[in-house]
Amino acid sequence: MAGETATIIDEAAVAEAARRIAPYVRRTPVVVRNEFDRALGCRLFFKCEHLQLGGAFKARGAFNAVFSLSEAEAGSGVVAHSSGNHATALALAARARGIPAHLVMPENASRVKITNVRAAGGRITFCRPTPQAREAAASAILTETGGVLVHPFDDRRVMAGQGTAAVEFLEEAGELDVLLVPVGGGGLISGTAVGAKARYPRIRVVGVEPEGAADAWRGFRAGRIDRTGKADTIADGLRSYLGDLTFAVIRDRVDDIVTVSEAGIVRAMKCLREEGGLEVEPSAAVPFAAILENRVEVSGRKIGMILTGGNVEPAGD
């Protein structure tokens, strides 16, 4: 089955992405917090992608996609729909290449993420906060501009770029027993599973979703994509349904998917901030919530978590 998904994304694609994006993205630190280890009876390692360019791991996939384009393809710019972090990342990558970025964002997008996209030079079109509205608006812009769609997750170039975070993580932390990854559209966990298992085949890659946006959890168990139900969660970066490409890789390479409560996400954010000094957005706190809510076995194990983003609203907003 791994051979089947290799036609979507393989170790070579992740390695090529790492070389391509190296001049543009940050090699983010891996940190430990001994107080957490003592309290939880395990070794925890945090990959700080909330310190990445644009405040999220999304820069990796965006830069890989944009700098994969030929001159002819890039000429009319790039188009995407995003709740914020992919939009910011794509705007930054497009600016670095000197091409326009047209971004569709939901009208209820986080203000800090809207500000980030505009600061990066992105051209925003707002739409209703539904997957259908986002896709329709992006399609209209593609027709108008002739640009290239860079999907926020269901894109081989994006998936390969996201996988570079796990490769860096394991180069520094060494072999882990479990790697916990937030799941929205599946781009990060797809790339992570490919990159991590190529280096350490026995590592368990476990996805974590909010209970209010658990399409991947349902689909993983049913063996088919489940796009039913409305996503309702504070973790705005995880409200997307899985794509066809990402689901195929998840089905074959990911070991499990678990869910966490909204209260657990808030508790995890607070704990990371107040006890760990790590200021992250709700989506990034989801893996730590899985540990605090005992959704994964951690006793005596080496556990890695990718802190995916740090774009939070200022206090008082």
Tell me the two tokens of residue 246: 């990402």
Q: Give the torsion through C-alpha atoms of 29, 30, 36, 38, to 10 deg.
A: -130
Place of tokens 């559209």: 185
The alpha-helical segments, DSSP class H, found in the chain are 2-5, 11-21, 34-40, 58-66, 71-74, 85-97, 111-119, 131-145, 156-173, 187-199, 215-222, 244-253, 262-274, 282-292
Place of tokens 């657990």: 264
C-alpha of 256 from chain center: 17
* Catalytic one of 68, 82, 83, 240: 83
Q: Which amino acid type is present at position 26?
A: R
* Catalytic one of 47, 58, 113, 197: 58
Q: Is 113 a catalytic residue?
A: no
Nearest CA-CA partner of 161 in 131, 187, 134, 200: 187
Q: Which amino acid type is present at position 265?
A: I
Return the SS3 of 193: helix
Distance CA 205, CA 255 (A): 6
178-182 and 123-127 beta bridge pairing:
unpaired
Q: Is 58 a catalytic residue?
A: yes
Catalytic residues: 58, 83
